Structures are given as structure tokens and as C-alpha cells.
A and B are shown apart, each in its own frame.
Chain A
Amino acid sequence: MKEPILTPEAARVLNFVGAMALLGVLLGVYVYQFTYREVPCTLCLLQRLAMIAAAFGAVMDLVLGPDPRYYGLCLISAVFGIGVSVRQTLLHVNPYFDTDTGQPTLDPTTNPPFGHPVFGLDLYVWGTVIFATVILATAVALMFRSQFESSPDEPEWVGRLAAIGAAILFFVAASESLGVFLECGFGDCPNDGTWSWWFLRAS
């Protein structure tokens, strides 16, 4: 009998690695957010949303077993995320263009990039790279049919790995939700580097 190239257990481990990579990026962004005291913009929040949703799909594969629906969730999230990140990249692609007036300018500080760059690239450019990688990795993962065959005897360590992955996903999603609540409240996100709540604005 031919051995499967990708067993369900191996697929779960790969999904764990993928989810942790995405959640690691989100936790790494916190370092920049709190070091430079940068309040995320609306487009930044939407990219984080897409990243959490893509990680959610991977964690579902990890917890419940590989399923094309969960891979589809990763793909939809990444397509949405890449749309938002490309939009933000295009907004800042030309520093000699004033997006407020819609006119060219000789002052390169008129349209500065948003936030501090990481390894020379702005965060939204990294977002484009990451979402493109998610799309490619998910498309490749979907090619291995053997991972979708059910395995009756699931090793114990897979269950523990799934619990760890799901717990990390929840804590990242909950902390992001708290941050969004503090920034936006129940109203418009300020989008100008300030907080929505008066007691945070005062500081």
C-alpha cells in the first residue's frame, strides 16, 4: 500500500506552525505599538482582522482535523487582507503626492509612510508579503488529499497541541478586541493616532 505524503497528523502540525507564525506577527506588532506609542489606523486594524481570521482557519484545521472549508477560510481571509494591505501600500507609494488635495507636491513629507518600518519595509508592505505567502501555502496544502482521510486513533499529543494553539488564538483575539475597544469604543475609530475614550486621550 502506498504511504500518504501528508498524514492528517503532519497536516495538523503544519497548521500549528502556520497559525503560530501569524499570531507571532500580531504579537510582534504589539512591540512596535507600545514602543513607539502608535495607535493602529483603520486599515491596520482590518489587516490584523484578516490575519486573525487566517490563523483561525489554521487552528480549526488543528483542532478539528484538516478540512477544505477551513483552508477556504484561510484563503478568503488572506485575499481580503492582501486587498487592504495593497490599498494602504498604494496610498503611500508616492511621497510626492498630496492625497488630501489630490495634487503632486515637491515636499516628500506631505505623504509620509504610516508607522515605523521593520527591516526596511513598512508594516503594510509586510502585510502584503505575509498574505501572499498564506495564499500560496494554503493552495499548496490543498493539493495533498491524503490529509483529509479520517484517522480513528488520534495521538494524545495532537490534542494537547490543539489545545495550546486554540488557547493562544483566543488570547491574541481577546487582547486585540480589548485594544480595538479602547481605541474605537462603540463609535468611529479615530484614525488620527488618538484614542476614542476621553481618559486615554487626556494622557
Chain B
Amino acid sequence: MTVCKFNATVVQMHLIDDASQLTLAAAAVHPRLRHVAFIRVRRGFGRGRDMMTLTYALLAAAAFFLWRRKAEWGWTVVLVALALGVVIFAGAADFSQNLGIRL
């Protein structure tokens, strides 16, 4: 029984990897999925790296509108993408380490 529970959790975690945002959205409307969302949150949701796809999508969208529409506002979208990049960097980098050198 314990093994079954463990396997179920592993399966859930893989599912979360593949579609975390969808799972969170589903959890908002379906009570039985709330514990899955809870695991997702505990695994590091909010550390920033979740936003990498969104950041690149912003860049691609801005590039498309610059190409097809000569959109002048594209640079502000790129600035937002860079700000997200800073958030991701701060979340991904472990500054508690001494950068591999003795300071």
C-alpha cells in the first residue's frame, strides 16, 4: 500500500513537471487536485525558473510585431522580459556559495 502511494506521488510529480500551470489551474476548480498543486508549490514554484518559457514567448511576440507591424513599443516588452530574466537569475543562482573561489 505504501509502495502504491509512493508510485502515485511520483507519477503526480511527473505530471506536474509536464503541465504544472495547467495542473494549478485545474486545482483551482477541482478540490481533488489541490494536493497535487501543493506538491508543485513545495517543489519550488515561485523560485523564478518557471517563467523561462513566458520570458522567451514575450521576446518572440515582440520580434514578430517588430517584423510585421514595425511596432515601436517592442522595446518595453523586451525590458519586461529582461526584468523576468533578472528574477529567474536571482532565483536560480545560489549566492550562498562562494563562487568556487576563496574570497
Cα distance A53–B74 in the bound complex, in angstroms: 11
Cβ contact within 8 Å between B97 and A180: no
Known: A177-B57, A187-B16. Contact between A42 and B82, CB under 8 A?
no
The count of residues in chain B whose C-beta lies closer than 8 Å to any C-beta of chain A is 45
- Interface readout for B18-56 with A: 1 if CB under 8 Å, 0 if not? 111110000000000000000010011001011011011
Number of A-B contacts (CB under 8 A): 156
Secondary structure of the B contact surface, majority rule: helix
Cβ contact within 8 Å between A56 and B66: yes
A 36-72 contacts with B by CB, 8 A: 42-43, 45-46, 49-50, 52-53, 56-57, 59-60, 63-64, 69-70
Q: CB of B86 within 8 A of chain A?
A: yes
Cα distance A59–B85 in the bound complex, in angstroms: 20
Known: A90-B100, A188-B44. Contact between A56 and B63, CB under 8 A?
yes
A-side contacts of B59, CB under 8 Å: 49, 52-53, 56, 173, 176-177
Neighbour of A189 across the interface among B49, B63, B99, CB < 8 A: B49
Interface residues on A, range: 35 or more
Secondary structure of the A contact surface, majority rule: helix
Cβ contact within 8 Å between B19 and A76: no
Cβ contact within 8 Å between A94 and B63: no
A-side contacts of B55, CB under 8 Å: 49
Segment with Cβ contacts to B, from A2-10, A114-122, A130-138, A161-169? A161-169
Interface-centre pick from A46, A63, A91, A94 (highest chain B CB count, 10 A): A46
B-side contacts of A198, CB under 8 Å: 14, 17-18
B-side contacts of A80, CB under 8 Å: 82, 85-86, 89
What is the interface of chain B, defined by CB distance below 8 A to chain A?
Answer: 14, 16-22, 40, 43-44, 47, 49-50, 52-53, 55-57, 59-60, 62-64, 66-67, 70, 72, 74-75, 78-79, 81-82, 85-86, 88-89, 92-93, 97-101
